[in-house]
Amino acid sequence: MSLASLRNGGAIGQLEPQDWMAEPETQAVVHALMADGAEVRFVGGCVRDSVLKRPIKDIDIATPDPPQRVLALLDEAHIHAIPTGIDHGTVTAVIGKAHFEITTLRRDVESFGRKARVEYTDDWLVDASRRDFTMNALSADPQGRIYDPFDGLADLGAGRVQFVGDPAERIREDALRLLRFFRFHAHYGRRTDLDSRALAACRKLAPLLDTLSGERVAGEILRLLQADDPATVLLPMHSLGILGHILPAARNFGRLRVLSWLESRGLVRDDIHVDAIRRLAAMLDTDRAGAEAVGERLKLSGLQTRRLMAMAQPRVRVSHDMEGREIRRALRKLGGDEVRDLTLLAWAAKRSLDARTSPAESAAWTILLDMAKSWVPVELPVKGRDLLALGVAHGPEIGRRLAELESWWEDQDYLPDREECLEKLREMA
C-alpha cells in the first residue's frame, strides 16, 4: 500500500507539529530550495526520530535539483553554503549554529564498496531504494506529510531493523552497514530475534569489516555502546564472529551489562554519565598493551587510548574494602577521574559475578565515588630547593630524601603542613 502511495505521489502519514521544522533557520532553507518550485523533503534520521518523539540531532534534506542549482538557490537567499560532498550531490547550508545537509536525489550506477558512481534523478522511489534500512527510507515534506516506500513506519513501530532489499547486496555496497545493523538494533530494536536473513548476511560478509578504516569502525562501535543495553546486541555479534574482526579482545559482556545499568539507571548522580570509552574498557579482556592496540585500531585520540589503557591494567587496585587512607593514596596517584572509572568497573565486575550486594557494600562503593568526586589534588609542601637550603648537596641525595619525606607525609595522611615537613627534613638531616 505504501509503495503504491509513493508512486502516485501521495503521503501515508502525518507528523505532529515539530519545533525543529518551525525554526526560522529551517524555514529559510526550505523556502530557498523551493524558490523555483522544486519539491523538497526531510529525510532519514530527523523523520525517524520525530515519529518516535526522540531528540533531533541532524536535519537532512533531499531535492531533485542538482547541487550547482542548490548552491545558486542558497546564494540567492543569502544563505552560506559549503560544497561538502558536491561530487556526490551534497551541499551543507549554514545559518548561525544550524547546519543542514542537502543532497540531490540519486541513483547508483556502479558501486565500489563505500564509494559509488551516481547520477542524479527526480525519482523519490529510486533515491529511497539506496537507503540502508526501511526506517531510514522515510521522508516528510515541509507540511509534515510522511512518505514510506518500504513500510518503515511498521518496522519502526515494531522495533524491527530491516534492510531495504537484499541484506547481502546492501552490505556489499558498504561494509559499514553490517555494523550499522547492530547499532540501529541497539538503539531502535525492541525484539530479541534479529532478522534471520540479515544475520546470515552479516555472518557471511564479516570479513569485509577488515577493509574498513579505524575511524569508521570506532564511530559505529562507540555509538552502539551508548545504547541502554549494548551487551544484548554485542553478544550475537560475538557469537557470529563479527567482533573477532574488529575487537577480538571483547569478551566481558557481563561486566559491560552491569556497568551500563549503573551508568544509566542504577546510580542517579551528576558525576556519572553514559561513557562509551569506559564501556569499551568494560568488555575488553586485555592488558595495557592490548588496550593500546585497540586504541590504534580504532584511531582513538591519545586521551581516549590512555584512559583505555589505565582501565585495562590499573596501576592501583580499587575495591570496596579499601580504607580511607588507602583511598586517598589512590586518589593522589591516579586522580579523581581515573578512580571513578576504576570504581565503576570494579563494582560492575563484582556484581556481574554476585548479583546480591549488601547495603554495606553498596555504601562502600558509593563512598569511593563520593571521595573521587570531591578530591582536590595535594602536593608535597616542600621542594628540592628546601633541602639545598638545609645544606644537602646537589645530586641523588635530594631525590632520596624527598622520597623518604613523601612516604612519611603519606603515612600522616597528607596532613603535615610546610613547617612540619621542614621540621621533619631537619630531623632527617
- Please report which confidence band the pLDDT of residue 192 belongs to, taking 50, 70 and 90 as the band edges: confident
Q: Is the pLDDT of residue 4 over 60?
A: no
What percent of the chain lies above the pLDDT cut of 70? 95
Q: Which of 25-29, 97-101, 161-165, 381-385 has the lowest mean pLDDT?
A: 381-385
- Please report which confidence band the pLDDT of residue 286 belongs to, taking 50, 70 and 90 as the band edges: very high
- Please report which confidence band the pLDDT of residue 354 belongs to, taking 50, 70 and 90 as the band edges: confident
Instruction: Name the range with the highest mean pLDDT among 332-341, 377-386, 410-419.
Output: 332-341
Q: Is the pLDDT of residue 288 over 60?
A: yes
Instruction: Name the range with the highest mean pLDDT among 85-89, 154-158, 187-191, 379-383.
Output: 154-158
pLDDT score for 7: 45
Give backbone dihedrals phi and psi of 137, rounded to 5 degrees, phi first: -90, 0
pLDDT score for 176: 97
Which of 296, 105, 330 lies closest to 215, judged by CA? 296
Q: Is the pLDDT of residue 47 over 60?
A: yes
Q: What structural domains does the chain harbor?
A: 2-158 (3.30.460.10), 165-313 (1.10.3090.10), 314-377 (no CATH), 384-428 (no CATH)
Q: Is the pLDDT of residue 256 over 80?
A: yes
Cell, residue 282: 568494560
Q: 116 near 173, Cβ under 8 Å?
A: yes
Q: For the residues 387-402, what does the mean pLDDT come to? A: 86
Which of 283, 155, 298 lies closest to 230, judged by CA? 283
Question: Which of residues 360 and 109 earns the better pLDDT score?
Answer: 360
Q: What is the mean pLDDT of the chain?
A: 92
Instruction: Write the pLDDT tens digit of every residue in 144-166.
Output: 999 999 999 999 999 999 999 99
pTM attached to this predicted model = 0.88
Cell, residue 88: 556526490
Between CA 169 and CA 281 the distance in angstroms is 33
Instruction: Write the pLDDT tens digit of every residue in 211-252.
Output: 999 999 999 999 999 999 999 999 999 999 999 999 999 999
Q: Is the pLDDT of residue 5 over 80?
A: no
pLDDT score for 9: 54
- CB atoms near residue 285 (< 10 Å): 12
Q: Which of 14-23, 215-224, 286-295, 347-356 has the lowest mean pLDDT?
A: 347-356
Q: For the residues 316-332, what does the mean pLDDT come to? A: 93
List CB contacts of 109: < 8 A, sequence separation 6 or more.
116, 117, 118, 119
Instruction: Write the pLDDT tens digit of every residue in 100-139.
Output: 999 999 987 655 555 566 789 999 999 999 999 999 999 9
Q: How far is CA 185 from CA 161, 190, 246, in A?
A: 6, 8, 19
List CB contacts of 12: < 8 A, sequence separation 6 or more.
1, 2, 5, 6, 146, 147, 148, 153
Q: Which of 7-11, 45-49, 123-127, 207-211 has the lowest mean pLDDT?
A: 7-11
Beta-bridge partners for 42: 61, 140
Q: Is the pLDDT of residue 61 over 90?
A: yes
